């Protein structure tokens, strides 16, 4: 009964997490009406109207595409070899040799990071040794590879497999809101200065104000993540440097240089950087570092 109650509570929590997502989708739907009908219907020049409509729909498709990918892509659980078997877990709990059990299990995986006390990073809820850069999310109830943070606006964690999608979602949110803002400025200025007899459309005014506020807000967040991208850090690592064997913390351990750091997330092909398809390098649990660079050939590439 207790497990059933936990299950119901978990599913209710998961459903409530999508309330911000529904709000964003409703806002996008309303902005489409406000831009294409309320604003687009007032563009007198046909060529301008067609050009604006084409550009708007291209940005909108990329915006929604990246948003959906960020929402529905699992951020990445640890691979099976990092999980303890039931016997290993019971043995660790039944004896006072928990550290020794974890050390023996860690022989089959590659782990460099440690806790601040030098112990193996172990998740008791998931019953697994945490891979490097992985953390447990209490909202998603799982360990997440290269966890950045849990984002309520996508109802999902941002991790190894969907970080590119999240980054593009921020980029296209900025582009979408900036495009709307710039398009509305001439119309609003013209009404206020020269067409006082034509009342300003309420939807256009509200859309302009909301777009401007969202652009300024999201652009700040996007700039922060560009900084993290260039320095190969996650949001969690920016606030607390990871610890390694020997008890030392190193905030630049994964920094391979700006261009290489960007390719870790966006991939080798420049033509695919702006497209919401998986192109990130590596497998999410073994990483090149400054001391051990990307000359490795034994790490299989991650497939989406």
Q: Which burial class, exposed, middle or buried, applies to 21 when counting CB atoms under 10 A from its CB (0-12, 13-18, 19+)?
A: middle
Q: Reduce the DSSP state of residue 51 to 3 states and report it.
A: helix
Q: Residue 86: exposed, middle, or buried by beta-carbon count in 10 A (0-12, 13-18, 19+)?
A: exposed
Q: In 3D, which of 127, 120, 92 has the Cα closest to residue 106?
A: 120
Dist. CA 214–CA 244, nearest whole Å: 39
The closest alpha carbon to 208, from 15, 51, 35, 43, belongs to 35
For residue 221, the tally of other CB atoms under 10 A from its CB is 13
The first and second tokens of residue 91, run together, are 């043995």
Instruction: For residue 159, give the nearest of 131, 135, 141, 126 by alpha carbon.
Output: 135
Nearest C-alpha neighbor of 41 from the set 246, 173, 204: 204
Whether 151 is catalytic:
yes
Catalytic residue of the set 151, 157, 184, 243: 151
> How far apart, in whole angstroms, are the C-alpha atoms of residue 289 and residue 304?
23
Torsion over CA of 113, 116, 120 and 126, rounded to 10 degrees? -90
Distance CA 265, CA 175 (A): 20
* Rounded-to-integer distance, Cα 91 and Cα 88, Å: 5
- Report, as residue numbers or ranges, the catalytic residues: 151
């Amino acid at each position: 009964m207790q497990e059933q109650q936990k299950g119901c509570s978990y599913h209710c929590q998961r459903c409530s997490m999508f309330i911000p997502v529904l709000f964003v989708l409703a806002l996008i739907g309303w902005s489409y009406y406000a831009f294409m009908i309320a604003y687009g219907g007032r563009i007198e020049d046909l060529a301008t109207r067609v050009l604006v409509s084409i550009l708007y729909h291209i940005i909108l498709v990329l915006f929604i595409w990246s948003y959906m990918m960020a929402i529905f892509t699992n951020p990445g659980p640890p691979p099976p070899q990092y999980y303890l078997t039931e016997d290993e877990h019971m043995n660790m709990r039944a004896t006072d040799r928990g550290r020794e059990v974890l050390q023996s299990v860690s022989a089959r995986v590659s782990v460099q990071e440690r806790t601040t006390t030098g112990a193996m990073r172990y998740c008791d809820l998931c019953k697994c040794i945490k891979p490097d850069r992985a953390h447990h999310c209490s909202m998603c109830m799982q360990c997440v590879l290269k966890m950045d943070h849990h984002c309520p606006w996508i109802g999902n964690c941002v991790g190894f497999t969907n970080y590119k999608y999240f980054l593009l979602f921020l980029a296209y949110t900025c582009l979408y809101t900036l495009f709307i803002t710039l398009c509305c400025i001439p119309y609003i200025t013209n009404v206020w200065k020269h067409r006082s007899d034509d009342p300003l459309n309420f939807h256009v005014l509200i859309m302009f104000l909301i777009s401007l506020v969202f652009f300024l807000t999201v652009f700040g967040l996007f700039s922060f993540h560009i900084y993290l991208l260039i320095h190969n850090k996650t949001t969690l690592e920016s606030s607390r440097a990871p610890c390694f064997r020997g008890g030392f913390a190193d905030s630049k351990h994964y920094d391979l240089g700006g261009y290489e750091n960007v390719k870790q997330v966006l991939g080798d092909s420049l033509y695919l950087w702006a497209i919401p398809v998986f192109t990130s390098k590596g497998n999410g649990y073994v990483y090149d570092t400054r001391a051990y660079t990307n000359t490795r050939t034994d790490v299989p590439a991650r497939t989406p």
